[in-house]
A and B are shown apart, each in its own frame.
Chain A
Amino acid sequence: MKAITKEVLKDAASRLMFDMSDEQYDTLEKEFEIIIKQMKLIGEIPDVDNVEPMTFPFDVTTDFLREDEVTEPLTKSDALKNAKDVLDGQIKLPKVVG
């Protein structure tokens, strides 16, 4: 596992597209200490590595697939009414490069 340092956490934050104050990174470092310790303890539970990871609360499968039929789309104004910067019926952003 990746070692926790303030730099690692800052990098993780920037990849999540936000920043935090220095005190918050300190708090977070302490929280990570706790959580990683606790997860290590979990790793010591017998059988924990003998079971499959569980995504859904119970084993549930379906045979349902949506028919390929179209429903009325949103009006352009509804689609865009919450966007703050709109030009020519499209959402405007600073030029995207790369």
Chain B
Amino acid sequence: MNFEAVIGIEIHVEMKTKSKMFSSAPVEFGAEPNTLVNPVDMAFPGTMPVVNKQAVINAIRVANALHMKIDQELWFDRKNYFYADLPKGFQITQDKRPIGRDGYVMIKTNNGEKKIEIERLHMEEDTCKQLHLSTYSLLDYNRAGTPLIEIVSRPNIRNGEEAMKYVEQIKSIVQFSDVSDGKMEEGSLRCDVNISLRPIGSDKFGTKVEIKNLNSLSNVEKAIEFEITRQQQLLLSGVPVEQETRRFDETRKETVLMRKKTDAVDYKYFTEPNITPIKLSDEFVKNAIETCPELAASKKDRYMTILGLNEYDSDILIQDKDVSDYFDKAVKFNASPKLLANWIMVDIAAYLNKNNLKIKDLQLSPEHLSDLIKLIEEGKISSKQAKDVFAVIVENDASPIDVANELGLVQMSDEGAIFELILEVLKENPQSIEDYKNGKDRALGFLVGQVMKKSRGKANPAMTSKMILDELKKK
């Protein structure tokens, strides 16, 4: 029998707002435990939630990028359950009326383009962080109340590659829109996968297994591929798949059982009575969308149509928001986009890679990279010499022209100075003039070489060659 996988993905994105979803305590990573909380986050009796405007703007931006219908009246609900990391005994979320509904995203796979449908996008709040030690756990409330966006796909993903591409798209959108760091490895983008198998052609769903803790794009793909095989083997040998939660073990490259699912938890949802419905004006929504930082797809389009880059280069630049931002800044200083792209993709990438750095850590400013490229374009230094300048300025962000001068690399492009050297060389080498006149082209190369030597390599070779030719013709 042939099976097909039915895969749905829930993604939680931690927003990088200044303050929390419902309180004005700061949102930061890596602070000392329990120093970023206010009474709301600790669920002290009598505290009340007040919705963060930027969180709403962020949710609108992502919903718009995912082509969703936006609900212009915000309602919040309580999801009631007890857990060690849940301060209030309920989480405020949007159950009945998510801010975004019925969207999609296009992904590109080896089998072409596919539309992944998205059911809903809603806002909610994060729980506190637990640190599990040998016999006890410690609670840090800094994370409690951090704004989250949850994005729930419809189950029309069919394999690991599609899942990976889908998550990659969502990640790109939340990063480019500045909504989130979107770092899977740090938990600011968390992804839970639901997967079941059914005979091809069937429209019934099989038993669902949930996979948690997928902390990289490649693990999403690997975990799903493993899980499909596992379930398929079970089904083929007549063993039913059990409803359970599994996690991906990175070292063993397989999914392992976390817990069997007992009966479904009843969260006893009801409307949050402390937040009266919030009406979003057309203008508010429009403004949130229009002021959204440029997304990857739009950047790619601009790189190709306006800056004239090819698709390959454009795709590489938009893989990382910070890289594309760096490129965008550099382009503003009028260096050739093509050369800039090359330098960023080759030289800067190699440097970052070698030193295990991110482009955000780079000393070299976009302006100075642009200046360096302009020196090449203006013929002041050669591409080869530029590499030497780069090696210096990438470390200290010094001005490229200054460094080129210090290294004695700036080409002599002063016609008068070069002309004097040419006259000297011609005087010293009458034989070569004769040779040239007799049709020995090599003589020209020799003469240019002599001028270069006298200029200690600084004379602009193209200019020198042309001027010598002019002189020889006069002879």
Contact = CB atoms under 8 A, between A and B. Distances in A.
Contacts of A62: 276-279
B201 interface: no
Interface string B29-53: 0001111111100100000001111
Contacts of A66: 19, 24, 50-53
A63 B33 contact: no
B72 to A, nearest CB: 11
B139 interface: yes
A91 B279 CA distance: 39
Contacts of A70: 18-19, 24-26
Contacts of A64: 278
* Interface of A, helix, strand, loop or mixed by DSSP: loop
Interface string B181-192: 000000000000
Interface in B59-97: 73, 82, 84-85
B84 A96 contact: yes
B34 A80 contact: yes
Contacts of A75: 35
B277 A68 contact: no
Interface string A51-86: 000011000111111111111011110011000000
A60 to B, nearest CB: 5
Contacts of A60: 276-277
Contact of B56 (A65, A74, A90): A65
Nearest to B147: A68
A46 interface: no
A92 interface: yes
Contacts of A15: 82
B136 A55 contact: no
Given A66-B52, A74-B38, A61 B278 contact: yes
* Interface of B, helix, strand, loop or mixed by DSSP: loop
A90 B24 contact: no
A90 B85 CA distance: 12
A68 B137 contact: no
A93 interface: yes
Nearest to A85: B136
B8 to A, nearest CB: 23
B26 A73 contact: yes
Q: Give the one of A56, A93, A94, A98 with max B CB within 10 A.
A: A93
B138 interface: yes
A91 B82 CA distance: 17
B278 A71 contact: no
Interface stretch (B125-133, B229-237, B395-403): B125-133
A90 B138 CA distance: 6
B474 interface: no
A78 B451 CA distance: 79
Contacts of A98: 258-259
A88 interface: yes
Contacts of A40: none
3 tightest Cβ-Cβ pairs between the two chains A and B: A68-B54, A65-B53, A90-B138
Interface of B: 17-19, 24-26, 32-39, 42, 50-56, 73, 82, 84-85, 130-141, 258-259, 270-271, 273, 276-281, 284
Interface of A: 15-17, 55-56, 60-71, 73-76, 79-80, 87-96, 98
18 contacts: A16-B82, A60-B276, A63-B278, A65-B56, A66-B19, A66-B52, A66-B53, A68-B17, A69-B24, A71-B19, A73-B26, A74-B42, A76-B33, A92-B137, A93-B84, A93-B137, A93-B139, A94-B137
